[in-house]
Amino acid sequence: MELIEQHPFLEQMLEEWAPALGSARVAYGGHAYRVLNYSRALLGSARHDEELALAAAFHDLGIWSDRTFDYLPPSVERAEAFRRERAPGLGAELIASLIRNHHVLRPLRTGPDPAVQEAFRRADLVDVSRGQLRAGLPPRLVREVVERFPYAGFHGVLVRTAFAWAVRHPLRPLPMVRLR
Which residue ranges in the chain fall short of pLDDT 70? none
Q: Give the pLDDT of residue 178.
A: 81
Query: In angstroms, how far is CA 104 from the centroid of its own chain?
Result: 13
| Domain-embedded: residue 180 | no
Residue 90 lies inside a defined structural domain of this protein = yes
Q: What pLDDT is attached to residue 110?
A: 86
Answer yes or no: is 76 within a domain.
Answer: yes
The domain spanning residue 145 has which CATH number?
1.10.3210
State how far Cα 78 lies from the chain centre. 13
Which pLDDT score is estimated for 111?
A: 86
Q: Is residue 106 part of a domain?
A: yes
Q: Please check whether residue 177 lies inside any domain of the structure.
A: no
Range of the domain at 107: 8-168
Q: What pLDDT is recorded for position 108?
A: 84
Residue 161 lies in a domain: yes
Residue 97 makes CB contacts below 8 A (sequence gap 6+) with 111, 112, 117
What length does the chain have?
180
Question: Tell me, what amino acid is at 75?
Answer: S
CA dihedral 100, 134, 113, 74 (to 10 degrees): 20
Domains contained in the chain, number: 1
Instruction: Give the pLDDT confidence score for residue 179 in this predicted structure.
Output: 75
- Determine if the pTM surpasses 0.85: yes
